Structure 1
Amino acid sequence: MAVSEVLPDYAGAFPFERFNAMQCEVLPALLDSTENVVVSAPTASGKTALAEVAICEALDADGTALFLAPLRALTNEKESEWERFEDLGYSVYVVTGERDLNPRRAERADILVMTPEKADSATRKHDSPRYSFITDVDCCVIDEVHLLDSEKRGSVLEVTVSRLRRLCDPRVVALSATMPNVDDVAGWLDAPADNTFEFGDDYRPVPLHADVRTYAHGDNAFADKYRRLYRALDIAEPHIRDEGQALVFVSSRQDTVQAAKKSRDEIVERDIPMGARGDYDFHNDAAELSNDTLRQSVLDGVGFHHAGLSKEDKNLVEQWFKEGKLQLLFSTSTLAWGVNLPARCVVIRDTKLHDPLEGEVDMSPLDVLQMLGRAGRPGYDDKGYAWVVCDSSDADKYRALLRDGKEIESRLAEDLDAHLNAEIALGTVGDIEDVMDWLETTFYYVRAASAPDEYASESALRERVSDTLRSLVARGFVERENMRLEPTPLGRLASKFYLRLDTAREFADLAEQAEEDDARLDQDGILRAIATAAEFDSVSARSDERDAVAAVLGETDDLDPGGRKVLAILESRMRGTTPGELQSDAWVITQNALRLLAALRAFLDRLAGPAAANLACRIEARIEDGISDDAVGLTAIDGVGSGRASKLAAEGITTPADVREAGVSGLHAAGLSEGVAERVVDSAGELPNVVVEWGEFPDSVAAGENDMREVTVRNVGGDARAGLRVTVNGVEMATRNRYLGEADLPVGVFGGNADELEYAIEVAFPELPLHPVVETRSVRVE
């Protein structure tokens, strides 16, 4: 069927002219029905077009479409791909991190693109103006709904979709690779039988031959990696000699590079005819690559692809592989889940991978099937060939997976306490009957009815819920009075910041200790709280990393190796120099640490006060920008990152006050261009600027005499929330927490037993990385 006949107003949104047979069977359900749709079909059969049809249908009704993509790397690719919708006058907006969110753009978007984690966070905060856009969704497309079975992410997708359906009841279109129990997913989403489709291998564009190959396992993991590589090349070689292409999946970004380097040598050794060094035009095109290793590699017909490459480099690699200029491509799993880049031969070299937060883990069955499904190029190959290379002890497991597929299970029970706390914090659950009603909206409930022997019975489930509720009450996340459930501040904070409950409890304990004695809270205590958070429990330190950790921290420490590694990465990030041995995991660990620090800052702000929160804020900025403590306040200036802050600090300009005093000419002399200097000075002027006026404050007081004086704290800069504190000889006299314009503080001067009274006015900004302003006055007791 021609796209122009089916969707004449949206033909420009599709990169082809005619729908294929599978798509034609689903079109009536998408276009002639308003009910939910579930489609299970082989990889590369054209499911993305079904998502686009559903989006067009929503746009045609002036609605908003939400596309849930399985990986963050793919959300940006959709933004690029869907410029076709922009060309038709519709706006596409990718919702990324909290800091980068533009609520106005999100609210005005016609198509929203999010990961399940971002959608979960947005639905938890739906009643805030910043995230209210999520309740305006009219159609939700779930790409790769079999992600429900992912150990780490499945429960997030499950509760997010259930919550979204309760919030705004959008039409749901769920797309999946082949799965045996598609009816369970349809039952969960209330998709009628006529709108539930299960397409078998007959609908694969190219038939697939999939099998397992073993290798001789040795004692050295490094050598094993190359044994598997040679095995993969053995499998790929005949296809390459026959002018086919091979796609080899490996476990990490660095492995794609190393495997490509080693393979180039091996290809020469085996005299395999491939490469395009004589192609003058291709040689010139390759010169455009920004990655030096990739530039040399592609000329030999070998490429690599991972999320760390520049967008331009990735686009060129994909283009050349599609054109056949690259015959051997090494990649991480990103290509399996997103880019439609099939090959005649697909080999999974690594079935285990190193996760920065989990250590060595088995590749999930979902990833394995997704990767193997990339075998076979429609229009070019009569058959696709897919292989798993593994140790002989795992061979039967993978053969069974290839033979029987993988039923999709619910992972909700594994994180029931955190998800239940989130629902109570949202107010959607008020008693145990509400809990049971909520559970009935989940995939867990449907799956339990379908496979009762593998899941708890309803009575056992009710008992489990009761136990979970008792635990939430005992740990301070929920209050229970007269059978009603109410969230505590701790429960709300845990839900808002997406924390594991053990971490939330530890943060609350630290904040309460700091509130009792703020002198006990210091930089080391905050960093250790992050390094020992439950989110980092599974971090491990490889043997080659431990010397680097010791070089940062020293030898003596009471943390386990994983915690020491996290702490070393955070401390080295603050100094702006991360040891090379730690860099492979540093990005993931740092991003998670920054999220945890933002949460800890909120706990400290609420439970310990603005000064403690300000300390966490400064540490957060130092880790993010790699800047010294004396210059961290510069990062509060819009347009000043680590580079400019370091440049200014080297010239003795370390605070926003210094920037204001230096002016444009001073910043220009320090190395900034005149235009940048003007913007930086203007931005510094928008930050708070505190002036303390002591008035008629006495220099002395007679013993036994009491005198009340008034100190004025004035902000002559931009508005900001501040904590004001008055102390005398270190003892707190008064506090205020307010948006600071001007404040008059009553200060008592009492001639007591001390010979001298040291008064201090401290102004701390909990949401800005500015050092607290501290002004002191001494009063003699005579």
Structure 2
Amino acid sequence: MKINEMPIPNHLREAYAKNGIEELYPPQAECVNAGLFNRKNILAAIPTASGKTLIAEMAMQKEVAEGGKCLYIVPLKALASEKYEDFSGKSVKVGIATGDPDQRDEYLGRYDIIVATSEKTDSLIRNKAGWLKSISLLVVDEIHLIGDESRGGTLEMVIAQLRFQNPDMQIIGLSATMGNPESLAKWLDAALITSEWRPVDLREGVYYDGAIHFHGTERLLETPKKDDDLNLLLDTVNEGGQCLVFVSSRRSAEAYAKRAAVTLKKTSPTLDELSKRIGKADTTASGKNLALAVKSGAAFHHAGLPREARAAVEEGFRNGDILCISSTPTLAAGLNLPARRVIIRDYQRYERGAGMNPIPVLEYRQMAGRAGRPRLDPYGEAVLIAKQQRDVDRLFEEFIDAPAEDITSQCQRENELRSHLLALITSGFAQTDGEVRGFMEKSFYASQKSVHRRLDKNIEKTLAYLEKSGMVEREGDEIHGTLFGALTSRLYLDPESAMMIKDGLAGKKFTAFGMLHLLCMTPDMFRFYLKASDEKFVDKILKERSEELLLDDLSEEFFAAIKTALVAEEWISEIGEDSICERFGVGAGDIHAVVENLRWLMHAAGRICHEFAADCDDEMRDLELRVTHGVKEELLPLIALKGIGRVRARRIFDRGITSPEKLMAAEKDEVVSILGATIAKNVLEQAGRRSAKKREQELEESEDEHEEEDLPTEKKPQATLFDFGG
């Protein structure tokens, strides 16, 4: 089936032709035959690299040409940025939504295609963004994540609410791996397209004792190194390919990259430049290790790295300069980084309370699917490494030949129901018990099996919790959200988080550390894992600073929250990232994640504080700014000036320039020497405007005071001529 036969705009057809795309792959053609361009719902459960994005883009461009508006949902912010770049520059207006969770972002309505994460879309629904009602085509990428424990419930409710709001909307679901696609297709009223076809042949095998064992054949490798994972890497590189190596932990990823760098010893000016970029982006020990490895053509990739460092690694790999990346499985979840060979070295993972367990088959498939670069590799290889001879057959049975697991709804989980039922009520989707039940009966959860009795019980229990918490109230048969409930939903908080914040602020003395610890205890905040080496200093903090804490729990989460809050406290005390990373055993990316998460929670806590504990307003506002910028309280007046970050603010303050007024009074040459000419000019203009505004306010206040002094009062009647006579 030829591209020039498709009913798509000419500019898109021309863009494809420039990239050498002239004919559809077989799975793409099946989608067209199933009604892709006739507004039929489609679920495409087809392998990685078989052209799922192109299916969606053709449908979206046609929809836009006919006056429609499209929403493309992805699971990760990084993937949202990637898809935004893919869809831009093709004669349609593309927007991206990954920002603050309590904003309507009405400006997004002017775009033809909006790329958003599922969480951001959920928050837009809760905040009643008007443009969502005009969505005529919904694309859900990685739709199998509807079964994911951490985000599946949100994705399911987003799809359900958009279908309820826009009943004529076309839906396209894209997935690479799924055990029960028929169940999901039935729920979506979608034509199911499944296929094993790939543009690059995928060979799956198990390596043991110098050979890769495939079904019915084996391939012998040279073994110049004692380590199997390095021999597999060298074999690929010697053939002109690149490798992705999946391991179980960050420490393992970093260790492998170091060994690979020593083995590869590649040099080039491009690698030197990438190394310098990474060194500037991440000054921690981990960042230095990465920069050193990249200099020799190897890299590691995990969530502990700052975004700039991860982006540099991805760029170097796509361009062919970096020959291998060792990574935790997060890299397999959507980022487009295919390689000649994928090595799945670690196929077991530690789970707290359960020890080491095999990874899911679905996860293995995601990793294996990265093997083979279209138009670059003659084939792709996914290789597991066996430690013993008897493991070879077992690995074939457990991973290569095993079906992917079925996906199941996560909406039966109590914490998911709390948040989503509150959103249904406060957003106006359901206003009675019957409407709540009616909506949930249309969920994927209800469609999977006969669960109505259990669903009714869970709904009843959840509504009782929301009512007891003061988030909803009843008037006869109707259920309404209260001010507290509506605020909680708009702020995109778990109701339990909102209750913890409200109760924690009630009648307690506010301290910065106590507030940080409280927020780190909420279900909405991730906490650092508490290692054995952390226990001594955490116990010390508990003994010395227990009076600052707003909660008294002593659970495992409580102590983990102390560690996380200490990281945040050092950040707002202007301790350097490298020192924080070394002391707490975390990465620079982890610090940034804590700050980003706490910024949102501080903002939400500030809104709750304003409603229920207004006497803490000023302290909350100051702490939010300190978390945002990573500064001590004394720098807040300076940090308010755009262009001055934590480093410049400290530099200025230490020179005795402690406020915008003192900045205006300082010698201009001194300010320029500290900030540079361009930034100094901008900052001085801001400081001047602020100083003028402050003088104006002081003058108005002074005039008001004089007017009050002149006003007559009952206690002091107006003087008359008789009061002055004698």
Pair 1:531-2:527 in alignment: no
Give the TM-score, by structure 2 length.
0.79
Shift of 1:186: 1.6
Query: In structure 1, what is the equivalent of residue 443 of structure 2?
Result: 442
Give the residue type in structure 2 aligned to 1:526. Answer: M
What RMSD over aligned residues (CA atoms) do the two structures have, in Å?
A: 4.0
- Compared CA separation, residues 510 and 286, structure 1 to 2 (3 A): closer
- Compared CA separation, residues 657 and 512, structure 1 to 2 (3 A): farther
Shift of 1:370: 0.8
Give the residue type in structure 1 aligned to 2:29. Answer: C
* Contact 1:302-1:328 within 8 A present in 2 as well: yes
Select which of 646, 652, 659 maps to 2:656: 652
* Contact 2:422-2:466 within 8 A present in 1 as well: yes
Pair 1:163-2:161 in alignment: yes
Whole-Å Cα distance in 1 between the matches of residues 234 and 158 of structure 2? 45
Whole-Å Cα distance in 2 between the matches of residues 121 and 479 of structure 1? 22
Shift of 1:384: 2.6
**1:248-299 residue CA offsets vs partner (Å, 9 max, x unmatched):** 023566654432112334x3xxxxxx6654xxxxx23323212365665456
Select which of 319, 324, 327 maps to 1:328: 324
Select which of 451, 467, 472 maps to 2:466: 472
Select which of 254, 262, 273 maps to 1:288: 273
Pair 1:138-2:136 in alignment: yes
Pair 1:540-2:529 in alignment: yes
Pair 1:151-2:157 in alignment: no
Whole-Å Cα distance in 1 between the matches of residues 440 and 484 of structure 2? 23
Query: In structure 2, what is the equivalent of residue 81 of structure 1?
Result: 86
Select which of 560, 566, 569 maps to 1:568: 566
Query: In structure 2, what is the equivalent of residue 613 of structure 1?
Result: 617
Query: In structure 1, what is the equivalent of residue 109 of structure 2?
Result: 107
Whole-Å Cα distance in 2 between the matches of residues 175 and 642 of structure 1? 43
Q: How many residues align?
A: 654
**1:186-230 residue CA offsets vs partner (Å, 9 max, x unmatched):** 222222xxx32121x24563134255989xxxxxxxxxxxxxx94
* Contact 2:430-2:436 within 8 A present in 1 as well: yes
Shift of 1:599: 0.8
* Contact 1:72-1:115 within 8 A present in 2 as well: yes
1:267-666 matches, within 5 Å, as: 267=263, 276-277=266-267, 283-289=268-274, 290-291=277-278, 297=293, 300-305=296-301, 308-310=307-309, 313-314=312-313, 316-321=315-320, 326-333=322-329, 335-351=331-347, 366-378=362-374, 380-382=377-379, 384-387=381-384, 399-400=397-398, 402=400, 403-414=402-413, 415-448=416-449, 452=450, 457-513=451-507, 520-536=509-525, 539-546=528-535, 557=546, 560-577=558-575, 578=577, 579-581=580-582, 582=584, 583-584=586-587, 585-609=590-614, 611-659=615-663
Select which of 107, 111, 117 maps to 2:119: 117
Whole-Å Cα distance in 1 between the matches of residues 595 and 704 of structure 2? 49
Give the residue type in structure 1 aligned to 2:517. Answer: R
Give the residue type in structure 2 aligned to 1:70. Answer: P
Whole-Å Cα distance in 2 between the matches of residues 423 and 686 of structure 1? 48
- Compared CA separation, residues 631 and 389, structure 1 to 2 (3 A): farther
- Compared CA separation, residues 361 and 511, structure 1 to 2 (3 A): farther
Whole-Å Cα distance in 2 between the matches of residues 342 and 359 of structure 1? 31
Query: In structure 1, what is the equivalent of residue 690 of structure 2?
Result: 684
* Contact 2:94-2:114 within 8 A present in 1 as well: yes
Shift of 1:458: 1.3
1:126-275 matches, within 5 Å, as: 126=128, 131-169=129-167, 170-191=169-190, 195-199=191-195, 201-203=196-198, 205-210=200-205, 230-233=227-230, 235-236=232-233, 238-240=235-237, 244-251=241-248, 255-265=252-262, 267=263
Shift of 1:34: 1.3
* Contact 1:212-1:395 within 8 A present in 2 as well: no
Whole-Å Cα distance in 2 between the matches of residues 634 and 568 of structure 1? 25
Structure (1 or 2) with the greater strand fraction: 1
Shift of 1:123: 1.2
Shift of 1:371: 0.9
Q: Give the match's secondary structure for 1:141.
A: strand
Q: Which structure has more RCO (C-alpha within 8 Å, separation ≥ 6)?
A: 2
* Contact 2:207-2:385 within 8 A present in 1 as well: yes
- Compared CA separation, residues 688 and 49, structure 1 to 2 (3 A): farther
Give the residue type in structure 2 aligned to 1:262. Answer: R
Shift of 1:580: 2.4
**1:445-498 residue CA offsets vs partner (Å, 9 max, x unmatched):** 1123xxx4xxxx312321221122112212222112313211122222221222
Select which of 1, 21, 29 maps to 2:26: 21
* Contact 1:209-1:385 within 8 A present in 2 as well: yes
Shift of 1:113: 1.1
Shift of 1:385: 2.7
Whole-Å Cα distance in 2 between the matches of residues 210 and 239 of structure 1? 15
Identity over the aligned pairs, expressed in percent? 26
Whole-Å Cα distance in 2 between the matches of residues 747 and 260 of structure 1? 81
Question: Structure 1: where are the runs of 5+ without partners?
Answer: 215-228, 268-273, 278-282, 515-519, 699-708, 713-743, 751-782
Whole-Å Cα distance in 2 between the matches of residues 296 and 696 of structure 1? 65
Whole-Å Cα distance in 2 between the matches of residues 345 and 658 of structure 1? 61
**1:718-751 residue CA offsets vs partner (Å, 9 max, x unmatched):** xxxxxxxxxxxxxxxxxxxxxxxxxx9x99999x
Whole-Å Cα distance in 2 between the matches of residues 421 and 233 of structure 1? 52
* Contact 1:31-1:57 within 8 A present in 2 as well: no
Shift of 1:398: 9.1
Bigger drift between 645-654 and 179-188 goes to 645-654
- Compared CA separation, residues 571 and 146, structure 1 to 2 (3 A): same
Give the residue type in structure 1 aligned to 2:96. Answer: V
Bigger drift between 671-680 and 563-572 goes to 671-680
Shift of 1:420: 0.8
Whole-Å Cα distance in 2 between the matches of residues 122 and 395 of structure 1? 49
Select which of 19, 36, 42 maps to 1:37: 42
Structure (1 or 2) with the greater helix fraction: 2
Query: In structure 1, what is the equivalent of residue 283 of structure 2?
Result: none
**1:651-686 residue CA offsets vs partner (Å, 9 max, x unmatched):** 334344555666978854764534223443256359
* Contact 1:180-1:405 within 8 A present in 2 as well: yes
Give the TM-score, by structure 1 length.
0.74
Whole-Å Cα distance in 1 between the matches of residues 603 and 236 of structure 2? 51
Give the residue type in structure 2 aligned to 1:540. Answer: Y
Q: Give the match's secondary structure for 2:193.
A: strand
Whole-Å Cα distance in 2 between the matches of residues 374 and 666 of structure 1? 55
- Compared CA separation, residues 171 and 366, structure 1 to 2 (3 A): same
Query: In structure 1, what is the equivalent of residue 96 of structure 2?
Result: 94
- Compared CA separation, residues 334 and 78, structure 1 to 2 (3 A): farther
* Contact 2:236-2:340 within 8 A present in 1 as well: yes
Give the residue type in structure 1 aligned to 2:256. Answer: A
Shift of 1:153: 0.8
* Contact 1:637-1:684 within 8 A present in 2 as well: no
